[in-house]
Protein backbone atom coordinates (compact mmCIF):
# COMPACT_ATOMS: atom_id res chain seq x y z
CA UNK A 1 0.00 0.00 0.00
CA UNK A 2 1.27 3.41 -0.94
CA UNK A 3 1.16 5.83 1.91
CA UNK A 4 -0.45 9.17 1.13
CA UNK A 5 1.99 11.99 0.61
CA UNK A 6 1.67 14.68 3.19
CA UNK A 7 0.75 18.06 1.74
CA UNK A 8 1.96 19.96 4.76
CA UNK A 9 5.12 22.00 4.29
CA UNK A 10 7.76 22.59 6.88
CA UNK A 11 7.29 25.85 8.75
CA UNK A 12 9.38 28.61 7.19
CA UNK A 13 11.63 30.76 9.30
CA UNK A 14 10.12 34.09 10.24
CA UNK A 15 11.91 36.96 8.45
CA UNK A 16 13.59 39.31 10.86
CA UNK A 17 11.71 42.48 11.55
CA UNK A 18 13.31 45.77 10.56
CA UNK A 19 14.05 46.47 14.21
CA UNK A 20 16.08 43.22 14.43
CA UNK A 21 18.18 43.68 11.27
CA UNK A 22 21.89 44.29 11.60
CA UNK A 23 21.76 47.31 9.28
CA UNK A 24 19.10 49.00 11.40
CA UNK A 25 21.13 48.47 14.55
CA UNK A 26 24.20 49.97 12.91
CA UNK A 27 22.27 52.98 11.68
CA UNK A 28 20.78 53.46 15.14
CA UNK A 29 24.24 53.20 16.73
CA UNK A 30 25.70 55.77 14.33
CA UNK A 31 22.79 58.17 14.92
CA UNK A 32 23.11 57.85 18.69
CA UNK A 33 26.86 58.47 18.45
CA UNK A 34 26.34 61.57 16.29
CA UNK A 35 23.66 62.92 18.63
CA UNK A 36 25.89 62.33 21.66
CA UNK A 37 28.91 64.00 20.06
CA UNK A 38 26.76 66.91 18.88
CA UNK A 39 25.28 67.39 22.35
CA UNK A 40 28.73 67.35 23.98
CA UNK A 41 30.13 69.85 21.47
CA UNK A 42 27.13 72.15 21.91
CA UNK A 43 27.41 71.97 25.70
CA UNK A 44 31.09 73.02 25.70
CA UNK A 45 30.82 75.32 22.66
CA UNK A 46 32.27 78.30 24.53
CA UNK A 47 35.53 76.47 25.20
CA UNK A 48 35.77 75.35 21.57
CA UNK A 49 35.82 78.84 20.05
CA UNK A 50 39.67 78.97 19.87
CA UNK A 51 39.67 75.61 18.12
CA UNK A 52 37.06 76.84 15.63
CA UNK A 53 39.39 79.75 14.87
CA UNK A 54 42.20 77.21 14.59
CA UNK A 55 40.18 75.20 12.08
CA UNK A 56 39.75 78.32 9.93
CA UNK A 57 43.50 78.97 10.13
CA UNK A 58 44.13 75.34 9.16
CA UNK A 59 41.99 75.83 6.05
CA UNK A 60 44.03 78.92 5.18
CA UNK A 61 47.40 77.24 5.77
CA UNK A 62 46.58 73.94 4.02
CA UNK A 63 47.40 75.16 0.46
CA UNK A 64 50.69 76.69 1.67
CA UNK A 65 51.63 73.45 3.45
CA UNK A 66 50.84 71.44 0.32
CA UNK A 67 52.94 73.80 -1.82
CA UNK A 68 55.96 73.46 0.49
CA UNK A 69 55.45 69.69 0.67
CA UNK A 70 55.66 69.38 -3.13
CA UNK A 71 59.03 71.16 -3.40
CA UNK A 72 60.85 69.40 -0.53
CA UNK A 73 63.26 66.95 -2.23
CA UNK A 74 63.10 64.04 0.25
CA UNK A 75 59.30 63.82 0.45
CA UNK A 76 59.20 60.28 -1.00
CA UNK A 77 61.78 58.88 1.45
CA UNK A 78 60.40 60.45 4.63
CA UNK A 79 56.84 61.75 4.12
CA UNK A 80 56.23 62.35 7.84
CA UNK A 81 59.32 64.51 8.26
CA UNK A 82 58.54 66.28 4.98
CA UNK A 83 55.03 67.14 6.20
CA UNK A 84 56.32 68.46 9.54
CA UNK A 85 58.94 70.60 7.81
CA UNK A 86 56.32 72.00 5.41
CA UNK A 87 54.12 72.99 8.36
CA UNK A 88 57.02 74.73 10.13
CA UNK A 89 57.90 76.63 6.95
CA UNK A 90 54.25 77.67 6.60
CA UNK A 91 54.28 78.87 10.21
CA UNK A 92 57.41 80.92 9.48
CA UNK A 93 55.95 82.54 6.35
CA UNK A 94 52.57 83.32 7.95
CA UNK A 95 54.23 84.58 11.14
CA UNK A 96 56.58 86.80 9.15
CA UNK A 97 53.74 88.38 7.19
CA UNK A 98 51.67 88.92 10.33
CA UNK A 99 54.63 90.48 12.15
CA UNK A 100 55.35 92.80 9.23
CA UNK A 101 51.70 93.82 8.94
CA UNK A 102 51.51 94.38 12.69
CA UNK A 103 54.61 96.60 12.73
CA UNK A 104 53.25 98.70 9.87
CA UNK A 105 49.53 98.86 10.68
CA UNK A 106 49.13 98.26 14.40
CA UNK A 107 50.41 101.61 15.81
CA UNK A 108 48.26 103.83 13.52
CA UNK A 109 45.35 101.41 13.87
CA UNK A 110 45.38 101.68 17.67
CA UNK A 111 45.67 105.47 17.51
CA UNK A 112 42.92 105.90 14.91
CA UNK A 113 40.64 103.40 16.67
CA UNK A 114 40.91 105.35 19.92
CA UNK A 115 40.19 108.62 18.11
CA UNK A 116 37.27 107.07 16.22
CA UNK A 117 35.57 105.66 19.31
CA UNK A 118 36.02 108.93 21.22
CA UNK A 119 34.63 110.93 18.27
CA UNK A 120 31.43 108.92 17.73
CA UNK A 121 29.20 111.27 19.82
CA UNK A 122 30.68 114.29 18.01
CA UNK A 123 30.13 112.61 14.64
CA UNK A 124 26.47 111.94 15.40
CA UNK A 125 25.91 115.50 16.67
CA UNK A 126 27.70 117.07 13.70
CA UNK A 127 25.77 114.92 11.23
CA UNK A 128 22.46 115.95 12.82
CA UNK A 129 23.48 119.63 12.79
CA UNK A 130 24.45 119.39 9.13
CA UNK A 131 21.14 117.78 8.20
CA UNK A 132 19.16 120.46 10.02
CA UNK A 133 21.26 123.18 8.38
CA UNK A 134 20.18 121.82 5.01
CA UNK A 135 16.59 121.81 6.19
CA UNK A 136 16.83 125.43 7.37
CA UNK A 137 17.78 126.53 3.86
CA UNK A 138 14.48 125.29 2.52
CA UNK A 139 12.20 126.43 5.33
CA UNK A 140 10.90 129.26 3.20
CA UNK A 141 9.76 126.91 0.43
CA UNK A 142 8.77 123.74 2.33
CA UNK A 143 5.38 123.84 4.13
CA UNK A 144 5.49 123.33 7.94
CA UNK A 145 3.52 120.07 7.75
CA UNK A 146 6.05 118.51 5.37
CA UNK A 147 8.90 119.83 7.51
CA UNK A 148 7.47 118.03 10.53
CA UNK A 149 7.24 114.78 8.57
CA UNK A 150 10.81 115.13 7.30
CA UNK A 151 12.17 115.83 10.79
CA UNK A 152 10.28 112.85 12.19
CA UNK A 153 11.66 110.62 9.45
CA UNK A 154 15.19 111.89 9.99
CA UNK A 155 14.93 111.23 13.72
CA UNK A 156 13.88 107.65 13.03
CA UNK A 157 16.65 107.28 10.45
CA UNK A 158 19.16 108.64 12.94
CA UNK A 159 18.10 106.08 15.54
CA UNK A 160 18.46 103.28 12.99
CA UNK A 161 21.86 104.59 11.86
CA UNK A 162 23.15 104.88 15.43
CA UNK A 163 21.96 101.34 16.14
CA UNK A 164 23.69 100.11 12.98
CA UNK A 165 26.91 101.89 13.93
CA UNK A 166 26.78 100.46 17.43
CA UNK A 167 26.20 96.92 16.10
CA UNK A 168 28.93 97.25 13.50
CA UNK A 169 31.46 98.63 15.96
CA UNK A 170 30.65 95.94 18.51
CA UNK A 171 31.06 93.30 15.80
CA UNK A 172 34.28 94.79 14.47
CA UNK A 173 36.10 95.53 17.70
CA UNK A 174 34.87 92.40 19.46
CA UNK A 175 36.18 90.36 16.53
CA UNK A 176 39.53 92.16 16.65
CA UNK A 177 39.68 91.85 20.43
CA UNK A 178 38.77 88.18 20.28
CA UNK A 179 41.49 87.55 17.69
CA UNK A 180 44.09 89.36 19.81
CA UNK A 181 42.95 87.42 22.87
CA UNK A 182 43.21 84.11 21.04
CA UNK A 183 46.72 84.74 19.75
CA UNK A 184 47.99 86.02 23.09
CA UNK A 185 46.26 83.69 25.55
CA UNK A 186 45.68 80.36 23.82
CA UNK A 187 49.12 78.80 24.10
CA UNK A 188 48.04 75.36 22.88
CA UNK A 189 46.55 76.54 19.59
CA UNK A 190 49.78 76.49 17.48
CA UNK A 191 50.63 73.00 18.73
CA UNK A 192 47.08 71.79 18.10
CA UNK A 193 47.23 73.26 14.60
CA UNK A 194 50.55 71.51 13.96
CA UNK A 195 49.15 68.08 14.75
CA UNK A 196 45.91 68.76 12.86
CA UNK A 197 47.87 69.60 9.71
CA UNK A 198 50.45 66.84 10.24
CA UNK A 199 48.00 63.99 10.88
CA UNK A 200 45.23 65.23 8.58
CA UNK A 201 45.25 62.20 6.24
CA UNK A 202 45.56 59.70 9.08
CA UNK A 203 42.72 61.36 10.97
CA UNK A 204 40.39 61.19 7.97
CA UNK A 205 41.21 57.52 7.39
CA UNK A 206 40.40 56.81 11.03
CA UNK A 207 37.08 58.63 10.61
CA UNK A 208 36.19 56.72 7.43
CA UNK A 209 36.98 53.38 9.08
CA UNK A 210 34.34 54.10 11.73
CA UNK A 211 31.63 53.61 9.10
CA UNK A 212 30.42 50.31 7.61
CA UNK A 213 32.42 49.36 4.52
CA UNK A 214 29.46 49.80 2.19
CA UNK A 215 28.96 53.38 3.38
CA UNK A 216 32.54 54.61 3.12
CA UNK A 217 32.39 55.68 -0.50
CA UNK A 218 29.38 57.89 0.21
CA UNK A 219 30.92 59.26 3.41
CA UNK A 220 34.09 60.18 1.50
CA UNK A 221 32.02 61.89 -1.18
CA UNK A 222 29.99 63.90 1.36
CA UNK A 223 33.12 64.91 3.30
CA UNK A 224 34.68 66.00 0.01
CA UNK A 225 31.64 68.15 -0.80
CA UNK A 226 31.71 69.79 2.64
CA UNK A 227 35.47 70.31 2.51
CA UNK A 228 35.50 71.87 -0.98
CA UNK A 229 32.56 74.18 -0.30
CA UNK A 230 33.70 75.28 3.16
CA UNK A 231 37.35 75.75 2.21
CA UNK A 232 36.51 77.73 -0.93
CA UNK A 233 34.02 79.93 0.91
CA UNK A 234 36.27 80.66 3.91
CA UNK A 235 39.32 81.49 1.79
CA UNK A 236 37.26 83.48 -0.69
CA UNK A 237 35.38 85.50 1.92
CA UNK A 238 38.54 86.33 3.87
CA UNK A 239 40.29 87.35 0.66
CA UNK A 240 37.31 89.54 -0.22
CA UNK A 241 37.50 91.12 3.24
CA UNK A 242 41.19 91.93 2.82
CA UNK A 243 40.77 93.35 -0.71
CA UNK A 244 37.65 95.39 0.09
CA UNK A 245 39.17 96.63 3.36
CA UNK A 246 42.34 97.78 1.59
CA UNK A 247 40.37 99.37 -1.26
CA UNK A 248 38.06 101.20 1.16
CA UNK A 249 40.92 102.42 3.33
CA UNK A 250 42.91 103.69 0.34
CA UNK A 251 39.82 105.35 -1.18
CA UNK A 252 38.94 107.12 2.07
CA UNK A 253 42.55 108.28 2.47
CA UNK A 254 42.52 109.69 -1.07
CA UNK A 255 39.20 111.44 -0.42
CA UNK A 256 40.65 112.89 2.79
CA UNK A 257 38.44 111.40 5.52
CA UNK A 258 39.80 110.96 9.03
CA UNK A 259 40.76 107.51 10.37
CA UNK A 260 40.94 105.75 6.96
CA UNK A 261 42.60 102.65 8.45
CA UNK A 262 39.72 102.16 10.90
CA UNK A 263 37.16 102.66 8.12
CA UNK A 264 38.99 100.10 5.99
CA UNK A 265 39.06 97.66 8.93
CA UNK A 266 35.32 98.09 9.48
CA UNK A 267 34.68 97.50 5.76
CA UNK A 268 36.86 94.37 5.75
CA UNK A 269 35.25 92.82 8.82
CA UNK A 270 31.69 93.62 7.72
CA UNK A 271 32.45 92.09 4.31
CA UNK A 272 32.10 88.72 6.08
CA UNK A 273 28.33 89.40 6.16
CA UNK A 274 27.12 89.09 2.54
CA UNK A 275 25.04 91.94 1.05
CA UNK A 276 24.14 93.60 4.38
CA UNK A 277 27.76 94.15 5.45
CA UNK A 278 28.62 96.63 2.66
CA UNK A 279 25.37 98.53 3.29
CA UNK A 280 26.22 98.99 6.98
CA UNK A 281 29.75 100.03 5.96
CA UNK A 282 28.38 102.73 3.67
CA UNK A 283 26.06 104.06 6.39
CA UNK A 284 28.97 104.37 8.83
CA UNK A 285 31.34 106.03 6.35
CA UNK A 286 28.62 108.36 5.05
CA UNK A 287 27.84 109.54 8.59
CA UNK A 288 31.55 110.14 9.24
CA UNK A 289 31.82 112.15 6.02
CA UNK A 290 28.65 114.08 6.84
CA UNK A 291 29.99 114.95 10.29
CA UNK A 292 33.54 115.89 9.25
CA UNK A 293 33.62 116.76 5.54
CA UNK A 294 30.07 117.19 4.15
CA UNK A 295 31.42 118.41 0.81
CA UNK A 296 33.07 115.00 0.30
CA UNK A 297 29.90 112.96 0.82
CA UNK A 298 29.35 112.73 -2.94
CA UNK A 299 32.86 111.37 -3.45
CA UNK A 300 32.24 108.77 -0.74
CA UNK A 301 29.14 107.61 -2.62
CA UNK A 302 31.05 107.44 -5.91
CA UNK A 303 33.87 105.44 -4.28
CA UNK A 304 31.37 103.05 -2.68
CA UNK A 305 29.62 102.46 -6.03
CA UNK A 306 32.95 101.80 -7.81
CA UNK A 307 34.13 99.37 -5.10
CA UNK A 308 30.81 97.51 -5.15
CA UNK A 309 30.85 97.23 -8.94
CA UNK A 310 34.39 95.84 -8.86
CA UNK A 311 33.42 93.41 -6.11
CA UNK A 312 30.21 92.12 -7.69
CA UNK A 313 31.38 91.99 -11.32
CA UNK A 314 35.07 91.10 -10.97
CA UNK A 315 36.05 89.80 -7.54
CA UNK A 316 33.09 87.65 -6.46
CA UNK A 317 32.81 85.65 -9.73
CA UNK A 318 36.56 84.97 -9.73
CA UNK A 319 37.02 84.26 -6.01
CA UNK A 320 33.84 82.35 -5.19
CA UNK A 321 33.26 80.94 -8.66
CA UNK A 322 30.50 78.33 -8.51
CA UNK A 323 30.61 77.77 -4.74
CA UNK A 324 27.50 79.65 -3.59
CA UNK A 325 25.32 80.12 -6.70
CA UNK A 326 22.41 81.65 -4.79
CA UNK A 327 20.00 84.40 -5.69
CA UNK A 328 20.69 87.62 -3.72
CA UNK A 329 17.09 87.63 -2.44
CA UNK A 330 17.60 84.13 -1.03
CA UNK A 331 20.92 85.19 0.51
CA UNK A 332 19.22 88.12 2.28
CA UNK A 333 16.51 85.78 3.60
CA UNK A 334 19.14 83.34 4.85
CA UNK A 335 21.04 86.16 6.59
CA UNK A 336 17.89 87.21 8.44
CA UNK A 337 17.27 83.58 9.47
CA UNK A 338 20.89 83.12 10.57
CA UNK A 339 20.80 86.34 12.59
CA UNK A 340 17.57 85.27 14.31
CA UNK A 341 19.03 81.85 15.16
CA UNK A 342 22.64 82.59 16.15
CA UNK A 343 23.17 86.35 16.01
CA UNK A 344 26.14 87.82 14.11
CA UNK A 345 27.86 84.41 13.88
CA UNK A 346 24.72 83.02 12.26
CA UNK A 347 24.72 85.81 9.67
CA UNK A 348 28.28 84.85 8.72
CA UNK A 349 27.94 81.03 8.60
CA UNK A 350 24.39 80.61 7.28
CA UNK A 351 25.28 81.05 3.58
CA UNK A 352 28.05 78.40 3.39
CA UNK A 353 25.94 76.10 5.59
CA UNK A 354 23.02 76.42 3.18
CA UNK A 355 25.34 75.80 0.20
CA UNK A 356 26.69 72.65 1.87
CA UNK A 357 23.18 71.36 2.63
CA UNK A 358 22.14 72.01 -0.98
CA UNK A 359 25.14 70.17 -2.47
CA UNK A 360 24.82 67.21 -0.07
CA UNK A 361 21.10 66.96 -0.85
CA UNK A 362 21.87 66.90 -4.58
CA UNK A 363 24.41 64.11 -4.10
CA UNK A 364 22.11 61.98 -1.94
CA UNK A 365 19.16 62.57 -4.28
CA UNK A 366 21.09 61.25 -7.28
CA UNK A 367 22.76 58.50 -5.24
CA UNK A 368 19.48 57.15 -3.90
CA UNK A 369 18.03 57.27 -7.40
CA UNK A 370 20.97 55.23 -8.77
CA UNK A 371 21.92 58.11 -11.04
CA UNK A 372 25.43 59.51 -11.39
CA UNK A 373 25.86 62.41 -8.98
Residue 44 pLDDT more than 70? Answer: yes
Q: How confident is the model at residue 268 (pLDDT cuts 50, 70, 90)?
A: very high
pLDDT at 221 over 90: yes
pLDDT band at 254 (very low <50, low <70, confident <90, very high): very high
Spell 4-20 as b/e; 16+ CB within 10 A means b.
eeeeeeeeeeeeeeeee
Cα-based torsion angle of the residue sequence 148, 152, 153, 154 in order, rounded to the nearest 10 degrees: 100
Q: Decide: residue 73, CB within 10 A, 0-12 exposed, 13-18 middle, 19+ buried.
A: exposed
Instruction: Answer yes or no: pTM beyond 0.75.
Output: no
Flag whether 242 is in a domain.
Answer: yes
Mean pLDDT for 132-156 is 65
pLDDT over 90, % of the chain: 13
**pLDDT at 336 (0 to 100):** 84
Q: Looking at the chain, how many residues does it have?
A: 373
Residue range 93-109, pLDDT digits in tens: 988 988 888 888 888 88
Please indicate, yes or no, if residue 39 is contained in any of the structural domains.
no
- CA 90, CA 205: separation in Å to the nearest integer? 24
pLDDT at 185: 46
What mean pLDDT value characterizes the chain? 78
Per-residue pLDDT tens over the stretch 364-373: 888 887 655 4
CA atoms of 237 and 275, how far apart (whole Å): 12
Domain that holds residue 61: 48-368
pLDDT band at 341 (very low <50, low <70, confident <90, very high): confident
Non-local (6+) Cβ contacts of 171 within 8 A are 269, 270, 344
In a domain, 262, yes or no: yes
**Which of 161-175, 192-206, 296-310 has the highest average model confidence (pLDDT)?**
296-310
Q: Rounded distance, CA 64 to CA 93, Å?
A: 9
How crowded is the C-beta side of 272, counted as CA atoms within 13 Å?
19
pLDDT at position 315, please?
81
pLDDT digits (tens, 9 = 90+) for 46-59: 677 777 777 888 88
Alpha-helical (H) ranges within 186-215 are 189-198, 200-209
Q: Is the confidence at residue 173, as pLDDT, over 60?
A: no
pLDDT of residue 247: 94
Looking at residue 19, its pLDDT comes to 52
**For the chain, percent of residues with pLDDT exceeding 70:** 76
Lowest-confidence segment of 111-115, 173-177, 199-203 by average pLDDT: 173-177
146 pLDDT above the threshold of 50:
yes
273-331, pLDDT tens digit by residue?
887 888 889 988 988 888 888 888 899 999 999 998 888 888 877 776 666 777 778 88
**Neighbour count for residue 304 (Cβ, 10 Å):** 19
Q: Is the pLDDT of residue 20 over 50?
A: yes
- On the 0-12 / 13-18 / 19+ scale of CB atoms within 10 A, 334 is buried
Residue 198 within any structural domain of the chain: yes
In a domain, 28, yes or no: no
Closest CA to 68 of 223, 205, 191, 197: 197
Report pLDDT for 304: 93
Within a domain: residue 11? no
pLDDT at 79: 76
Structural domain includes residue 341? yes
Q: Specify the number of domains making up the chain.
A: 1
Q: Residues 237, 272: contact at Cβ < 8 Å? A: yes
Amino acid sequence: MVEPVSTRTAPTARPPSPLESRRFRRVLLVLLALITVGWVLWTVRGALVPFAVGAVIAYLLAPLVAAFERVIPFRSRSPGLCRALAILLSYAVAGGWLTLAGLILLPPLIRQSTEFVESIPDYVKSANDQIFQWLDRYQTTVPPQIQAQIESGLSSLGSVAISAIRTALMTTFSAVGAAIGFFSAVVLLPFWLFYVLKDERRGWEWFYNLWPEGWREDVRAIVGIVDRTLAAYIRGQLLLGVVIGLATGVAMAIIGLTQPIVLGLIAGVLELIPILGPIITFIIIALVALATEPSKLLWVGVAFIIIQQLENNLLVPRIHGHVVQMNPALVMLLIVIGGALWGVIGMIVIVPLAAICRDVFRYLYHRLGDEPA
